[in-house]
């Protein structure tokens, strides 16, 4: 299948896809779409993000939806709230020409009653995180009898996040005749076990990413204070006089602000964002494509569909909230066999995100120092000299003017003449960068040795103030450390929170989280169910006198009202669950 027209997709979908600027199917779409449209055989796809996998499973699911039937027909399970919302948004775009289709996202950490109302209205395609899906199934609000297709998107990530038991429970509720599709970037033993247990003679498909840029793209980062980001951008533009790139910002406002500043400062730049009319957008795109503009400042959404193959740089003025977006951005350079540079301008607290990107996409960022005023002046100077050397001289045109010019400059020596010419062009840079300060922020973790780094990490952990929380489920409810972490992951929807000691007891459990997360977590888990039990999380007392939810006595009957445990804890041992370290959630 070389074009979407040959894929068997209907015109409504083809029109929507074409409006999104998808011209040819990606390899995984070419293999998957015809199969899913014509067969209900299960499917395993080795596919990372950036391969176009959402459309690969989403387009057939949309086409196969019976719009007259208002019950869930496709269930898409994915690991995070962001991905859940992204898939919903993509599917909504793909199905914009289809009347009566309803795509509903349900995820943890948000009000369940609103989601129940959405499900009650109608929901033919449900996109869900596993914990919330299970909760809704237990409440009999998510009904799976009519589900004909189940997609496990980023299955490896769901397992890493501790959702294995939830997936087991959800899949057990689905009809045995459904079609199961599993998408995973890696194939571990655990993934193979899932495919064996829940899939029937699946067809296997693998796809290389459209462009993760692994080979052709260099990933660099500059660490500065947030307030110096614009200065870095300017210095990068000055350091690379032939730059041709996109500067990604998070918001429309920032996009406009940065582009305006660049224009005022004399750069060939403009902005593209959602507020432009189609004509304005075409104008900016046209000037960018023809290289009249060197820098296009854009939001992710506005830059979609911009197909330029010879970008030299991608600059992340802000790192995106969703780390997958980074790879979409950087994949815009290094195309068609050319090399490219993807730059992240970050501040100290963003190193964690950088590491997440490195881990997830198996890439390495190199730290670069923001060029000094002197470096930039030197670069500009040589670029100017280069230009002077290579400039085409039109003898015929300038001949009549030369005698007067020679006469006027006669008093200057050769050396002085060169100095005057260079300065005429160059004084602007010299003046701007005279006394320019060093804006690099010293970073410890990447430059220091491993031993030092480990020592500092231990030290940081020791300093992390933990709070001990009580949760009213334990081993009796099949809780284990991985499931507890899954529950916390989904509730807080952040992987940054440090978890300390976990103690799983029979009727209930204790665990430590960094103390700033106490209230958000208690709030997030309120109203949620685990194993059919309504969850109660509260601050624990040091040693619970007895289990308030059990008639069994443990030590004493004096159950005191829990009070906040503000001890600073090393939090570096799990009583159960193994692993001797305090850890970040996977
Ligand atoms: P995904 O792997 O589903 O996260 O998709 C990665 C990115 O590629 C998304 O921004 C999609 O909108 C885009 N995309 C998906 N299919 C195509 C296609 N056939 N042509 C161009 N872009 C696509």
Per-residue pLDDT tens over the stretch 525-545: 888 888 888 899 998 865 433
Expressed in angstroms and rounded, the spacing between residue 22 Cα and the centre of ligand 1 is 8
Residues 223, 137, single domain; the answer is no
Residues 81, 200, single domain; the answer is yes
Residue with tokens 């840079």: 429
Q: What is the pLDDT of residues 255-298, one digit of tens each?
A: 999 999 999 999 999 998 878 887 888 899 889 989 999 999 99
Q: Is the CB of 86 under 6 A from ligand 1?
A: no
Whichever domain contains 44, its CATH number is 3.40.50.300
Which is the closest atom of ligand 1 to the Cα of 48?
2
Residue at 448 is within a domain: no
Expressed in angstroms and rounded, the spacing between residue 59 Cα and the centre of ligand 1 is 12
Q: Is the CB of 51 under 6 A from ligand 1?
A: yes
Q: What is the C-alpha separation between 495 and 584, in angstroms, rounded? A: 7
What is residue 9's three-state secondary structure? coil
Q: Among candidates 543, 435, 530, which has minimal Cα distance to 491?
A: 530
Residues 185, 243, single domain; the answer is no
96-100, 208-212, 303-307: segment of lowest average pLDDT? 208-212
Expressed in angstroms and rounded, the spacing between residue 52 Cα and the centre of ligand 1 is 4
Q: Check: CB of residue 181 under 8 Å from CB of residue 28.
A: no
Expressed in angstroms and rounded, the spacing between residue 56 Cα and the centre of ligand 1 is 9
Q: Whose CA is nearest to atom 20 of ligand 1?
A: 22
How many CB atoms are located within 10 Å of the residue 411 CB?
Answer: 8
Residue at 100 is within a domain: yes
Residue at 443 is within a domain: no
Residues 226, 360, single domain; the answer is yes
What is residue 183's three-state secondary structure? strand
Q: Whose CA is nearest to atom 13 of ligand 1?
A: 52
pLDDT above 50: residue 197? yes
| Residue 201: DSSP 8-state | S
Torsion angle of C-alpha atoms 14, 17, 18, 20, degrees rounded to 10 = 160
Q: What is the C-alpha separation between 249 and 50, in angstroms, rounded? A: 20
| Residue 117: HSE in the Cβ half-sphere, 13 Å Cα cutoff | 3
Q: Is the CB of 26 under 6 A from ligand 1?
A: yes
Q: Whose CA is nearest to atom 1 of ligand 1?
A: 52
Which residues share a beta bridge with 189? none
Which residues share a beta bridge with 467? 513
Which is the closest atom of ligand 1 to the Cα of 86?
4
Q: How many domains does the chain have?
A: 4
Candidate from 55, 205, 326, 329 with most ligand 1 atoms within 8 A of CB, to mutate? 55
Mean pLDDT confidence for 550-573? 34
70-74, 128-132, 188-192, 371-375: segment of lowest average pLDDT? 188-192
Share of the chain above pLDDT 90, in %: 44
Structural Rg of the chain based on CA atoms: 29
Expressed in angstroms and rounded, the spacing between residue 93 Cα and the centre of ligand 1 is 12
* 406 compared with 451, residue with greater pLDDT: 406
pLDDT confidence band for 434 (50 / 70 / 90): confident
pLDDT confidence band for 214 (50 / 70 / 90): low
Candidate from 210, 301, 327 with most ligand 1 atoms within 8 A of CB, to mutate? 210
Q: Whose CA is nearest to atom 18 of ligand 1?
A: 22
Q: Whose CA is nearest to atom 10 of ligand 1?
A: 328
Q: Is the CB of 29 under 6 A from ligand 1?
A: yes
Expressed in angstroms and rounded, the spacing between residue 54 Cα and the centre of ligand 1 is 7
pLDDT above 50: residue 154? yes
| Residue 462: DSSP 8-state | H
- The whole-number pLDDT of residue 274 equals 75
Which residues share a beta bridge with 151? 76, 181
Residues 473, 550, single domain; the answer is yes
- CA distances to 147, 182, 233, 258, 285 from 267, in Å: 55, 47, 11, 11, 17
Expressed in angstroms and rounded, the spacing between residue 25 Cα and the centre of ligand 1 is 9
Expressed in angstroms and rounded, the spacing between residue 30 Cα and the centre of ligand 1 is 13
Start-to-end Cα distance in the chain = 38
Expressed in angstroms and rounded, the spacing between residue 66 Cα and the centre of ligand 1 is 25
- The whole-number pLDDT of residue 124 equals 97
Which is the closest atom of ligand 1 to the Cα of 54?
3
Angle of CA points 190, 196, 202, to nearest 5°? 115
Q: What is the C-alpha separation between 129 and 367, in angstroms, rounded? A: 35
| Residue 228: DSSP 8-state | G
DSSP of 310-377, one letter per residue? ---EEEESS--SSHHHHHHHHTTSS-TT--EEEEEEE-GGGHHHHHHHHHHHT--EEE-PPPPHHHHH
Residue at 535 is within a domain: yes
Mean pLDDT confidence for 110-128? 95
Q: Check: CB of residue 44 under 8 Å from CB of residue 192.
A: no
How many CB atoms are located within 10 Å of the residue 379 CB?
Answer: 16
* 541 compared with 213, residue with greater pLDDT: 541
Domain with 533 in it: 463-568
Question: How far, in whole angstroms, is CA 126 from its chain's centroid?
Answer: 22
Q: Check: CB of residue 78 under 8 Å from CB of residue 459.
A: no
Residues 25, 158, single domain; the answer is yes
Residues 426, 483, single domain; the answer is no
Residues 351, 497, single domain; the answer is no
How many CB atoms are located within 10 Å of the residue 321 CB?
Answer: 9
Q: Check: CB of residue 514 under 8 Å from CB of residue 466.
A: yes
Candidate from 9, 14, 26, 45 with most ligand 1 atoms within 8 A of CB, to mutate? 26
Q: Is the CB of 79 under 6 A from ligand 1?
A: no
- CA distances to 61, 81, 410 from 85, in Å: 17, 6, 71
Expressed in angstroms and rounded, the spacing between residue 19 Cα and the centre of ligand 1 is 13
Q: What is the pLDDT of residues 379-419, one digit of tens each?
A: 888 888 888 888 899 999 999 999 999 999 999 999 999 88
What is residue 179's three-state secondary structure? strand
Q: What is the C-alpha separation between 30 and 108, in angstroms, rounded? A: 33
- The whole-number pLDDT of residue 451 equals 62
Highest-confidence range of 65-74, 295-304, 571-580, by mean pLDDT?
Answer: 65-74
pLDDT confidence band for 51 (50 / 70 / 90): confident
Expressed in angstroms and rounded, the spacing between residue 50 Cα and the centre of ligand 1 is 6
Q: Is the CB of 49 under 6 A from ligand 1?
A: yes
pLDDT above 50: residue 249? yes
- The whole-number pLDDT of residue 470 equals 93
Q: Where are the beta strands (DSSP E) in 227-273?
A: 245-248, 269-272
Residues 198, 315, single domain; the answer is no
Rounded to 5 degrees, φ, ψ at 367 are: -80, 135
Q: Check: CB of residue 43 under 8 Å from CB of residue 5.
A: no
Residue at 576 is within a domain: no
Residues 267, 359, single domain; the answer is yes
Phi-psi sector, 310: left (phi>0), alpha (psi -120 to 50), beta: alpha
Residues 110, 235, single domain; the answer is no
Q: Is the CB of 273 under 6 A from ligand 1?
A: no
- The whole-number pLDDT of residue 545 equals 38
pLDDT above 80: residue 207? no
Residues 138, 29, single domain; the answer is yes
How many CB atoms are located within 10 Å of the residue 532 CB?
Answer: 11
Expressed in angstroms and rounded, the spacing between residue 63 Cα and the centre of ligand 1 is 18
């Amino acid at each position: 299948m070389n074009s979407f027209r040959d894929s068997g997709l209907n015109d409504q979908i083809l029109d929507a896809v074409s409006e999104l600027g998808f011209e040819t199917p990606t390899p995984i779409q070419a293999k998957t779409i015809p199969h899913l449209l014509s067969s209900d055989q299960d499917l395993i796809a080795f596919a990372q993000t950036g391969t176009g996998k959402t459309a690969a499973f989403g387009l057939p699911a949309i086409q196969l939806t019976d719009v007259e039937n208002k019950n869930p027909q496709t269930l898409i399970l994915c690991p995070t709230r962001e991905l859940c919302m992204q898939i919903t948004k993509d599917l909504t775009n793909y199905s914009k020409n289809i009347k009566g289709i309803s795509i509903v996202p349900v995820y943890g950490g948000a009000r369940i009653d609103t989601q129940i109302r959405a499900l009650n209205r109608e929901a033919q395609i449900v996109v869900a995180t596993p914990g919330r899906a299970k909760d809704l199934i237990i409440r009999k609000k998510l009904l799976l009898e009519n589900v004909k297709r189940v997609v496990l998107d980023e299955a490896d990530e769901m397992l890493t996040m501790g959702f294995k038991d939830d997936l087991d429970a959800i899949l057990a509720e689905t009809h045995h005749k459904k079609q199961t599709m599993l998408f995973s970037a890696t194939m571990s033993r655990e993934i193979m076990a899932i495919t064996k247990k829940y899939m029937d003679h699946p067809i296997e498909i693998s796809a290389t990413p459209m462009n993760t840029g692994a080979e052709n793209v260099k990933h660099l980062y500059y660490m500065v204070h947030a307030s110096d980001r614009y200065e870095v951008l300017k210095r990068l533009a000055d350091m690379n006089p032939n730059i041709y790139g996109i500067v990604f910002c998070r918001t429309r406002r920032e996009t406009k602000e940065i582009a305006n500043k660049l224009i005022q400062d004399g750069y060939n730049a403009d902005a593209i964002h959602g507020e432009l009319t189609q004509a304005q957008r075409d104008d900016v795109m046209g000037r960018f494509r023809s290289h009249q503009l060197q820098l296009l400042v854009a939001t992710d959404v506005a830059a979609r569909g911009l197909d330029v193959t010879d970008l030299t740089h991608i600059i992340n003025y802000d790192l995106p909230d969703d780390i997958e977006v980074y790879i979409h951005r950087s994949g815009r350079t290094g195309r068609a066999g050319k090399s490219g540079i993807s730059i992240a301008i970050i501040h100290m607290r963003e190193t964690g995100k950088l590491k997440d990107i490195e881990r997830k996409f198996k890439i390495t960022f190199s730290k670069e120092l923001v060029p000094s005023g002197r470096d930039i002046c030197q670069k500009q100077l040589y670029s100017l000299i280069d230009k002077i050397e290579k400039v085409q001289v039109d003898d015929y045109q300038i001949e009549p003017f030369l005698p007067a010019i020679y006469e006027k400059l006669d008093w200057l020596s050769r050396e002085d003449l060169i100095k005057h010419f260079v300065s005429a062009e160059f004084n602007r840079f010299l003046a701007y960068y005279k006394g320019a300060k060093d804006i690099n922020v010293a970073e410890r973790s990447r430059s220091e040795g491993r031993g030092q780094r480990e020592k500092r990490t231990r030290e940081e952990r020791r300093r992390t103030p933990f709070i001990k929380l009580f949760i009213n489920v334990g081993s009796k409810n099949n809780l284990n450390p991985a499931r507890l972490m899954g529950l916390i992951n989904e509730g807080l929807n952040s992987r940054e929170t440090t978890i300390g000691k976990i103690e799983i007891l029979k009727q209930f459990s204790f665990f430590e989280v960094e103390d700033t997360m106490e209230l958000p977590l208690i709030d997030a888990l309120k109203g949620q169910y685990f194993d059919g039990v309504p969850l109660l999380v509260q601050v624990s007392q040091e040693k619970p006198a007895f289990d308030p939810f059990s008639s069994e006595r443990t030590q004493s009957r004096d159950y005191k009202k829990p009070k906040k445990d503000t001890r600073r804890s090393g939090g570096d041992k799990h009583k159960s669950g193994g692993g001797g370290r305090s850890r970040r959630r996977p």
